[in-house]
Amino acid sequence: MEELTIDDEDERNEMHKKKIAKKKDKFGESKKLLKSQDKEKYSLTKKHNYICQKIRNTHIISIDGNGVPVITVGPDWYLYMILSSIITFSFLFMFIKFYQFIPLYLFISGIITYLLFIVVYTRLTFLNPGFPDKIDINLVKKSKKHYMYCSICNIWVSRGAGIKHCHRCGMCIENYDHHCDWISKCVGKRNNNEFNFFIIWIVMVVIYFIASFVIVHENWFDYQRYLRNIEKMKNNENK
């Protein structure tokens, strides 16, 4: 066997270090590539593109990376402004006019109820109700009986998805339930749960106003009774 000198050992150590460094570089580059691919996928699915386009009676404000509408406004958007204004005016009138007869717990619960109602109502009004995704024409050619064509929207849609064309919105809606003027759009696949939650909050607002009327009315009568007693006492003292 050949005897290794110190120089030969140093060269072998350096070669071994270089090989390890190359492997690390390749591993690091592959990790960076995977991270960049994940970022691209995330940006394609999560990024919002604001387009502000009107399609028949519906305004599309923004879409995601896959072209699915995210923020939409229906034809009856002014009803959202009317109902929001009525609710806001009612709360302000009660808080300003009868502030001295409203207990602290009723005031705090009223603010929470109002803010949550506005958040739920606004989200529901601008949410995509369930516009169907575009179907590849190749899938339609393979099994045409599972799809139907909407001549107004100019798209193919699945037969088993409960899709119906709403002439008020001018769009096809997946899992169509009904068109609600107060939210300015239809109730469908993407906003059905939000609509049920909205109905619950409408009931909560009504219950809050009834309870507030009873409590404030009672406190107001007690205050009026107190003022009458003071007047009687003053009249008795003058006599």
**pLDDT average, residue stretch 156-174:** 88
Q: What is the mean pLDDT of residues 83-97?
A: 91
- Residue 11: per-residue pLDDT: 62
Measured distance CA(206)–CA(26) in Å, rounded: 65
**Could you read off the pLDDT of 72-87 as tens digits, one per residue?**
999 888 999 999 999 9
pLDDT tier at 64, thresholds 50, 70, 90: confident
For the cut 60, the answer to whether the pLDDT of residue 3 exceeds it is no
User: Domain map of the chain by residue range?
Assistant: 7-46, 76-238
pLDDT of residue 146: 83
The pLDDT of residue 179 is 94
Model pLDDT for residues 27-45, shown as the tens digit of each residue: 454 445 444 544 444 444 4
